[in-house]
């Protein structure tokens, strides 16, 4: 089944919340019909690289400061991956094409998968999970406030009938491209899942399912404090300690 329906205007308008941005010296990724304004920060060409996919309503600019500095202190290079239509990137935030952008984003680094750590926050987890599925030899995968059930998230904002299809057909389409249970089961590398117990946007059950589905070495941290958009700030000390411990173990 074609992914064209995933690029429908209503999904783009209702599900994504892009903002403009301005970063100096963007790391440009050519995706054919669009280019992505990512941001690459290298401390050592031989070091592992953390590839960070941000959340909805966020842009690369939001992560260029302290987050990058802390990742570098952990001995890693950092690629802040931008989404089409977000920040300085061109194109429209179309879900199907955004999924297709994952491979050129990773390949633009020119590094072996074994030197890469994929990190997905919130909606960015969709793209980090796709990256792990496409590059199963990756060094590690981190999912923070991640999405287990993409269909559930889409149905909160669009009705299949508005897209010209029935629920069964829409369910089949989403399962074809976003079967996270299957993708997580196929990824056997190390995994760190972090989520807030009282996440008011993406229920904690999403993080628990992603953890349960994973096949390899894995760790789950449910923070008793914080919410979807302040998880990092409320839990900063433990959050970055867990991340540092995970990276050091790879």
Calculated CA dihedral for residues 249, 125, 115, 77, nearest 10 degrees: -90
pLDDT at 171: 97
Is the pTM higher than 0.95? The answer reads yes
- Helix (H/G/I), strand (E/B), else coil: 7: helix
Instruction: For residue range 92-111, list pLDDT tens digits in order.
Output: 999 999 999 999 999 999 99
Q: Where exactly are the structural domains of the chain?
A: 3-248
Distance CA 194, CA 244 (A): 13
Distance CA 233, CA 227 (A): 10
Distance CA 54, CA 121 (A): 5
Q: Which of 29, 139, 136, 28 is closest to 77 using CA atoms? A: 139
How far does CA 66 lie from the centroid of its chain?
Answer: 19
pLDDT at 1: 63
What is the layout of strands, in order, in the sheet containing 35-41? 27-30, 35-41, 77-81, 49-53, 116-121, 140-144, 191-196, 218-223
pLDDT at 3: 81
Q: Report the chain's C-alpha Rg in angstroms.
A: 17
pLDDT at 124: 98
Spell out, as residue ranges, where the chain has pLDDT lower than 70: 1-2
**H helical segments located in the chain:** 9-15, 66-73, 95-100, 102-107, 124-134, 150-155, 167-177, 180-186, 204-213, 231-234, 236-248
Instruction: For residue range 51-88, list pLDDT tens digits in order.
Output: 999 999 999 999 999 999 999 999 999 999 999 999 99
Specify the CATH architecture of the domain 3-248. Answer: 3-Layer(aba) Sandwich (3.40)
């Amino acid at each position: 089944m074609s992914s064209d329906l995933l690029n429908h205007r209503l999904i783009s308008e209702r599900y994504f919340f892009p903002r403009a941005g301005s970063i100096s010296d963007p790391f440009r990724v050519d995706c054919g019909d669009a280019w992505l304004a990512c941001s690459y920060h290298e401390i050592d060409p031989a070091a592992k690289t953390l590839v960070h996919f941000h959340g909805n309503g966020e842009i690369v600019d939001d992560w260029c400061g302290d987050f990058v500095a802390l990742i570098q202190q952990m001995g890693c290079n950092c690629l802040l991956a931008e989404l089409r239509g977000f920040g300085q990137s061109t194109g429209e935030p179309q879900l199907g094409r955004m999924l297709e952008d994952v491979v050129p984003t990773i390949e633009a680094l020119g590094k072996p998968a074994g030197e890469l750590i994929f990190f997905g926050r919130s909606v960015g987890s969709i793209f980090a999970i796709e990256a792990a599925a496409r590059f199963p030899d990756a060094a590690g995968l981190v999912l923070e406030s991640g999405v287990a059930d993409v269909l559930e998230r889409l149905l909160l904002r669009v009705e299949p009938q508005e897209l010209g299809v029935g629920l069964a057909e829409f369910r089949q389409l989403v399962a074809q491209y976003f079967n996270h249970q299957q993708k997580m089961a196929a990824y056997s590398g190390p995994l760190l899942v972090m989520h807030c117990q009282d996440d008011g946007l993406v229920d904690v059950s999403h993080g628990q399912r992603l953890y349960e589905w994973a096949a390899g070495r894995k760790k789950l941290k449910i923070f008793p404090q914080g919410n979807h958009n302040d998880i990092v700030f409320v839990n900063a000390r433990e959050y970055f300690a867990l991340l540092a411990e995970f990276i050091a173990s790879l």
